[in-house]
Amino acid sequence: MFLNKILHTQSDHLFALQVNCDSMNPEIKPGSIVLVNQNENSPTGDGIFAVRLGNLVQLNILQPLPNNRLHLTTINKKYDPIEINPDETQEFEILGRVIW
């Protein structure tokens, strides 16, 4: 009922992820568990997404840019933002939007 009424999704589209870094601190602290909706894997607007960069899974704020590029930032300002074109690399994948 929580998934359907509050989060408006089905459980077969979700996965839980334990956060091990401080990139989203103080909003999402290390050790937190987030819920990711795999159906929301294209950034149509700003949001926090679980992404794969190479062999690492991390949380980033994704902002669409012109020319099919994405701006990846974090809440913790000690991490530098990066820009990426998903069409130019197989090392990048959007796993889904963090919904809880």
Number of domains in the chain: 1
DSSP β-ladder status, 82-84 and 70-73: antiparallel
Q: Specify the range with the lowest mean pLDDT, choosing from 9-13, 44-48, 84-88.
A: 9-13
- The backbone torsions φ and ψ at residue 12, rounded to the nearest 5 degrees and listed phi first, read -75, -5
Please state the pTM of the whole predicted model: 0.82
What CATH number has the domain bearing residue 26? 2.10.109.10
For residue 57, give its domain range. Answer: 2-98
- Cα 79 → chain centroid: 15
Average pLDDT for residues 35-39, to the nearest whole number?
Answer: 89
Residue 100: pLDDT over 70: yes
